[in-house]
Structure formats: C-alpha cells, structure tokens
Structure 1
Amino acid sequence: MDPIETTVAAVRDVGPDAVAIDLDTPPAFDAEPGQFVKLTATVGGKDESRFYTVSSPDTDDTFEFTISYDPEEGGAFSEYLLNLEAGDTVTITGPFGDDYYEGEHRAIVLAGGPGIGPAVAIAERALAEGNEAAIVYRDDTPLHEERLSNIANAGASVFVLSEDESLTDAVADVLTNADGEQVFVYGFADFLKDATAAIEAAGGDADAAKAENFG
C-alpha cells in the first residue's frame, strides 16, 4: 500500500512507560496479527519513519500498535508519538512481513520485550476463531497484563517470565509438536537465540518457526 494519512482514534497506557495507539483503519487496508507498518512523521523539520508491529487481533474499523519507551533516553520520534492525541493524523505504509498468523490450529507465541504486541494479537485472534493458543513472554516490566489475563481465562497457557529466567521449561510445557501447530517468535536478537535453543530442547523445529528479529 502507498503511504496514506489516517487518524488517531485513541491513546492508552498499557504498562510502565508504554502506550497503545489506535488508528482508524484506512479504506482497503488490511493486516494480519504479526505484520507491521511503517509510521512516518515530520519531526524537527524532517521526515522520519519507524516500524511497529500490529498488536490488535484484526484491523476492523481501527487497529493498534504498542510503543514502549525509555523516559530518560527516548528520542524526538518517541516524544512525538507520546504526545499524539485522538484526532491527530499520521502517515502509514504497509503492511509488511511474512511471519504472521494464518489461521493455524494451535499458535505458540514466544515473545521478548516488544514482542508482546504481536503475541497478544495472535493469541486473541486464534481463540476468537476457535483455535488454540499459548504465550511464553519474557520481560521484567510486563505490558498488556489485562489482555494476558483475559487470554489465560479463555483457556490459553500463558507464562510471564523475568528476563533472567530460562525459556526452556515453559516452552517444553506448551510445545506439543503436533500437526497444525505453529510457533511464532518475536523479539530482539538475544531473545530469538534463547527461543531457538528452547524450541530445539523441546524437540521442536526452530527453522519452521515464524520469527521477526526486532534488532
């Protein structure tokens, strides 16, 4: 999709130093949980862009992305996003990415840090479609805790780990290696390395995982 201007519908706190931004869905725009968009804005007199993963289960009417920030080290682009209000306009391009939910019977999402956005989106979508879901999430300051609780109450397995905890036992608990099961991995490079090791330790095929490296 070519760059298109759309409107901010809402901005909500979703945890320590984190917000979710809802955008009105432009005509003909459609994205699946796990895909991402490019957000462009004029900051300090020049255009700057960042990529954000969709964190809503669908893009009907509105869609969401989640931003975590460091209040001491955040840059001008972060400040711009944090000051957005309902009614403001932004420019998006996309969606991008091939590693997204496609109706798999059982979705296992391993998420580190900002990977929580696609994790809750995929799990909610899977459950809404009558499929199974599980989340293993590692972060010292968990986000979207209410959504994680609702996902667990809906019957999914949800593990929230601190950053010094191993993924091995939790991944072994949720991974069945049955037909129709798909593993998704979202996070920074060190998390992907740990997730790969945990999948292999549980007898899974890490190469078959759908994964996005956030840097």
Structure 2
Amino acid sequence: MDATVTVQSVESVGPDTVAVTFDSPDEFDAKPGQFVRLTADVGGESESRFYTVSSPDTDGSFETTVGLDGGEFAASLADLEPGDTVDVSGPFGEDYYEGEPRAVVLAGGPGIGPAVAIAEAALDAGNEAAVVYQSDAPAHTDRLDRVRDRGGSVVVTADDVDDAVTDAVTGVDGETAFVYGFAEFVDDATAALTDAGFDGETKVENFG
C-alpha cells in the first residue's frame, strides 16, 4: 500500500541511532521482519530508502530504526518532529516472524531493529526468543534488557558469534532462525548456524 504517515516521535536508542515512530495508515499490517520504503524531501529532492519495521506490531503505530551513518536521508529522518509527514510504501519481504514457537534471531548492526521486534512478538505470543547481536556500539539496549527480563535469551558481543549461536540453538520442533544484517555478517551467522548443527528453517534479510 502507499500512504502518507505522520511522525509520532523520534527517539535516540543508541550511538548514532534513532527510532522513528509513525502513525499506522488504515489497513497497514506489517509483520516483524518486514520492511517499508520511506520517501521524504532531502535538500529539495524526493528520495526513498528501505527500513525494516522494528516494532512487534503495527496496531496504531509502527517504528523503524535508523542508523545515522546512512547519509543525508537518515539524517533527514532523525531531524523529523512530531506532526511531520513522510510517504510510506509496503510492507515488503517474506522473511518475517509468523508465530514460530522459538525464534533465534541473529543480528548484525542495523539488524537490531527487526531482532527486538521479533523477540518481543514471540514473547507476546507466549513463545520463546533468543537474540544474538553483534555490535561494538549496541542500540536498543533497554528493549534487549526487557527481553531478558521476560525470559528471552540475549547475547551482545563485538566478537564473532559462533559460541553464542551454538548456545542459542536448541533443536526444538519449530525452532526458526532469523538472520538480519550486512552481507559479511549474514555469511558468518549462517555458517555459525551450520556449525551448530541447526537444521531448521532459516529466514534471511541481507542488507547488502
């Protein structure tokens, strides 16, 4: 769908990272792990970028997480104020949370947005969640703490994720791995899943 959405809030959620929350348009139903295309004015020109939904649901509002290393477009989103509007299209993507009984989410860098969304959605549904997050400047630490408090497993590391992935994988029926990040992380994370003996479904979103 295509719509114009209003900004509810812009909040710092970590080093050079903000969460932008928008009003959800009518009939908008994005799942954790899907993404949208945002279109905004940047220096007098209309530009678009894709961002993954980082809220566990889109009832009334939805959130995207924006890294400020994303150039002028990201900076323009960080400068938005409540009441401003942007255009949104979507949702897009097939690799999202669909109620799996155990979600093992491996996130690198900007993959933290969908990671916290999926973990929260899984716990909200009474299911299990584990997050392995590779970053030397982590974002969404408050939400990760709440995932831990609710019984989810969370490992944040600046090093390789091999041991953490091995610990996160249990082999229970329906366990599904979700991998979100740039290409190098995706390759390392999927290799770690293989080394851990994981043979369940793997859903991957490669950010390039």
TM-score bracket, shorter-length normalisation: over 0.9
Give the counterpart of 1:171 among 144, 154, 165. Answer: 165
Q: Does 1:108 align with 2:104?
A: yes
Matches within 5 A, 1:82-161: 82-161=78-157
1:185 partnered with 2:179? yes
CA distance in 2: counterparts of 1:77 and 1:166, whole angstroms: 30
Question: What secondary structure sits across from 2:180 in the alignment?
Answer: strand
Equivalent pair of 2:134/2:160 in contact (CA under 8 Å) = no
Query: Shift of residue 43 of structure 1?
Result: 1.8
Give the whole-Å Cα distance in 2 for the aligned partners of 1:172 and 1:75.
35
Number of the residue aligned with 2:52:
53
Could you list the runs of 5+ residues in structure 1 that have no partner in the other structure? none
- Amino acid of the structure 2 residue aligned with 1:46: E
Deviation at residue 118 of structure 1 after TM alignment: 0.4
Structure 2 unaligned spans of 5+: none
SS in 1 for 2:8: strand
Take 1:43 and 1:201, find their aligned partners in 2: how far apart are those partners? 44
Q: CA deviation at 1:44?
A: 2.5
Aligned to 1:194, the other structure's residue is in SS state helix
**2:64, 2:162 → 1: CA distance?**
29
Residue by residue over 1:45-89, the C-alpha shift from the partner in whole angstroms, topping out at 9 and shown as x without a partner, is 32210000000000011110000113xxx5321221121000000
Structure 2 residue matching 1:195: 3-state secondary structure: helix
The answer on 1:32 being equivalent to 2:55 is no
Q: Report what 1:79 is aligned to.
A: 75
Aligned length: 208
Q: Distance in 1 between matches of 2:75 and 2:204?
A: 29
Q: Which runs of 4+ in 1 moved over 3 A?
A: none
Do the aligned residues in 1 keep the contact of 2:20 with 2:78 (CA within 8 Å)?
no
What SS does the corresponding residue of 1:20 show, helix, strand or coil? strand
Q: Distance in 2 between matches of 1:63 and 1:4?
A: 13
Q: CA deviation at 1:197?
A: 1.1
